Chains A and B, each alone.
Chain A
Amino acid sequence: MLSIEVNSLSKKFGKFLAVDNVSFNVNKGEVFGFLGANGAGKSTTIRMLCGILEPTSGDAKVGGFSVMNEPDKVKQKIGYMSQKFSLYNDLTVEENINFYGGVYGLFGEKLNERKKWVLKISDLKGKENLITASLPGGIKQRLALGTAVIHNPAIVFLDEPTSGVDPIARRQFWELINDISDRGTTVLVTTHYLEEAEFCNNIILINAGKLIAHGTPATLKKDYLKNKIIEIECDDPVSAMNILSKEPFVDDTSIFGNNIHLSVNEIYNSKTQISDSIKTNNKINIKRIDPIVPTLEDVFIHLLEKGK
């Protein structure tokens, strides 16, 4: 069953095309990853899906309602956590929960029950009277997520919920996203951390407003990356990369930490091609050359290079 159907959605700001004819579907109950660099058009797309921003052309059905014609009905179905911090910093934890619960029409017993749940998932039981500004970043994000789904929406949109949060808190946050999805809520989450894509059931990748890849993490690796990936560890990765990028057997190069990743095509046959290339040109000391299983990051870098 489909939760979200996006049909040729576009958004122009003046003459600038921020979202360019994007179409995709999201299944009920899945965690759907929306990836792209800063400025790719992720937030703009989400805003249109939430009924805050009117599309320039195209339409989308969210929870069965058109964002173009029935944005008010869409709002009844969804939860949203905006990219900016969305809680009131000067209110206490409980006051924030009461306020957001209240605007969603939760009062009395129902509110209390949901409040307990929000406090539980954000580890804030007994700390209801703390001022929100004083909470650590990871806790704040979980509280924000809790308030965004306090009314048990069918669909929740999370716009870069893990940006600026430390890695441990990010992992905890993803566990929470999985919990929410397990209860049957559809989660559409944007991120620019490519490694987070592995936690999603389905992914789309968007670049400069255009959708450039779509699929599960596994199919993306299989379908989009026919090339082998070779990892090289050496003394001077930047010079080595400059040399290698000129070789005909290399399609694209990227640096991961101290290592170089080469995407090599069918002309490539053995490691010696690489070591020869580096040695004939310079005196860089090679420590290791290994073929590796491509990560999603390799896929995306390959796709983004191709898109240029």
Chain B
Amino acid sequence: MRIILNIIIKEFLQLKRDPKLFGVIFIAPILQLILLGYAATMDVNTIHFSILDRDKTTTSRQFIEKFTKSGYFTEEANVNNYKEAENLIDKGKTILTLVIPKDFEKDINRKLTAKVQAIFDGSNGNETSIAAGYVQGIVASYSNKLLLDVQNKSEKKIQNLSTINPEIRIWYNPELKTRKFMVPSILGLLLMVITIILMSMAVVKEREIGTLEQVIVTPIKPIQLIIGKLVPFIIVGFIDIILVLSVMVFWFDIGIRGDFFFLLFSSLLFVLSTLGLGLLISTISKTQQQAMMVAQFAVMMPMIYLSGFTFPIENMPQIIQYITYLIPLRYFITILRSVILKGTGFVELLPQVGMLFFLGVVILTASILNFRKRLN
């Protein structure tokens, strides 16, 4: 016990002596959360589009105005045919062409269903789906207005007035929605990055400078050495999560609806796997640089992509979806979002908590066994 404490003290002394590392651990996560938190709101601000107006009537112009005055759309050109529209999309000038067919006004006046066509550039799925949401929203609001006009004119009550799909309205106010949704998962991401990077340096650094060899000649047991190295980073992880949560609550004004201590408990389960992965990287790497590369490209990047942070898991091919079940970050993000935004409790999240615990124990045990084998 005293021997482990001795190692923990040493690790903290070294941390204290390294101002750069100190900054990386305690300042960088705060700055990153603030930066990423703002970036998360800027995903789609202006959608550049072109118009192919085959009707050229007052109504069609009125309809187009709904777009140009919405604040989300910038009209790049009025085109005369599909070819021109396609050109603009190919050049990247626009991502959307709005086609208003002949007889648009006539159909509306005859109270028939009027059709418009929206052609999207699908190469940026995220942007496109948001833009499509805006288009649907504007169209819905416009048809709503038409119905109201008709109602006013005829002074008859039209029963179907409230048929507008309320889900579309969400897209009218994307700012708050995106940030609220993103910030909790950024939190998980930061905790992962910090703990994996710190731990992946821990052993290989001592191997590089030669102290590892010196330490393993002492009667110290490998398990004591590992616990002595893990505990400081668990503590650092906790300080970080509290720092970042404070930024979330006090800077972004996103409150924690659920249980704060449950959140800390899940963070502990989560860092079991990230520290385990870090230890594994550190054990198999020959140099710190190599460890850094492995941590970034072989571990963290796939983790981020497969966690559902960047792309929704439902959109992934089935096989990849199965792989995501092995990604601890996936469960941690779900827990973070649910506890922070919805106030979900332990019981409902039991499957996620169970998986985090299971993966943490398996990964950490495997890493410790591997470390012991490598030492001998």
Chain A interface (Cβ within 8 Å of chain B)?
50-52, 54, 71-72, 75-76, 78, 80-91, 95, 98-100, 102-105, 107, 131, 148
Contacts and interface: CB of A to CB of B under 8 A. Distances in A.
B349 interface: no
Contacts of B209: 84-85, 88-89
A107 B6 CA distance: 10
Given A72-B219, A105-B219, A82 B3 contact: no
Contacts of A72: 219
A87 B211 contact: yes
Nearest to B213: A82
Contact of B10 (A75, A88, A131): A88
Contacts of A84: 209-210, 213
A98 B6 CA distance: 8
B219 A75 contact: yes
The B interface is mostly helix, strand or loop, or mixed, namely helix
B153 interface: no
B123 interface: no
Contacts of A87: 211
B217 A51 contact: yes
B57 interface: no
B68 interface: no
Contacts of A90: 14, 17-18
B2 interface: yes
7 closest Cβ contacts across the A-B interface? A84-B210, A102-B6, A86-B214, A80-B217, A90-B17, A103-B218, A82-B213
B220 interface: yes
A82 B220 contact: no
**Residue among B214, B216, B220 facing the most chain A CB atoms (10 A cut-off):** B214
Nearest to B6: A102
B207 to A, nearest CB: 10
Nearest to A147: B214
Nearest to B224: A103
Contacts of A99: 6-7, 9-10
Nearest to B16: A90
Scoring B213, B216, B217, B220 by chain A CB atoms within 10 A of each residue's CB, the highest score goes to B217
A85 B210 CA distance: 6
Contacts of B211: 86-88
Given A54-B376, A90-B18, A91-B14, A104 B218 contact: yes
B347 interface: no
B215 interface: yes
Nearest to B10: A99
B219 to A, nearest CB: 5
Nearest to B215: A103
Nearest to A78: B217
Given A52-B216, A87-B211, A103-B3, 10 more contacts: A50-B217, A51-B217, A72-B219, A78-B217, A80-B214, A91-B13, A91-B17, A102-B3, A103-B6, A148-B214
B197 to A, nearest CB: 18
A115 to B, nearest CB: 14
A52 B10 contact: no
27 contacts: A52-B216, A52-B217, A80-B214, A80-B217, A82-B213, A83-B210, A86-B211, A86-B213, A88-B10, A88-B14, A88-B211, A89-B209, A90-B17, A91-B13, A91-B14, A91-B17, A95-B13, A98-B6, A100-B218, A102-B3, A102-B6, A103-B6, A103-B220, A104-B218, A104-B219, A105-B3, A107-B2
